[in-house]
Amino acid sequence: MSARKFTELVDRKHGVINADITTERTGATYYSMKNFRKAIGVLVTDTVADTKKATVQLLQAKDAAGDGSKVLGTAVEAVSSGGQVLVVTQEANAEDMDSAGGYTFVGIKVSSNDTSAVIGAAAILLAEPRFAPV
């Protein structure tokens, strides 16, 4: 039996497309977690000034439009050292969601505390599918 490709184990979704994240940005669409066990938020930035940070926060909601949106897990921050490009990730498990409250969709929010514009892009990876193929 051959090993499955990574792309068969992860469903890739867009989050925030090339935006200045010094103003907090939230993805426009939330994605259903019903067929996945894990969500991974990935933020990639251009240069962030020395000692400034970039933050990624997964969100949970009741539908694809983000109804009742609230945080999912603890935000993850990365601090720039000497002015650098940052890659920041946050993971959350499906069982961490408030499914009893009707929260079954995941989204993403990103930001930076830099005083100069920081362009960032974010994606959501839905991983560990309950059923194959994705």
Domain range annotation of the chain = 15-129
Give CA–CA dist 83/30, Å, rounded: 32
Domain 15-129: assigned CATH number: 2.60.120
Give Cβ neighbours of residue 8 (< 8 Å, ≥ 6 apart). Answer: 132, 133, 134
Question: What is the model's pTM?
Answer: 0.90
pLDDT tens, N- to C-terminus, the chain (134 residues): 457 677 777 888 888 888 999 999 999 999 999 999 999 999 999 999 999 999 999 999 999 999 999 999 999 999 999 999 999 999 999 999 999 999 999 999 999 999 999 999 999 999 988 876 55
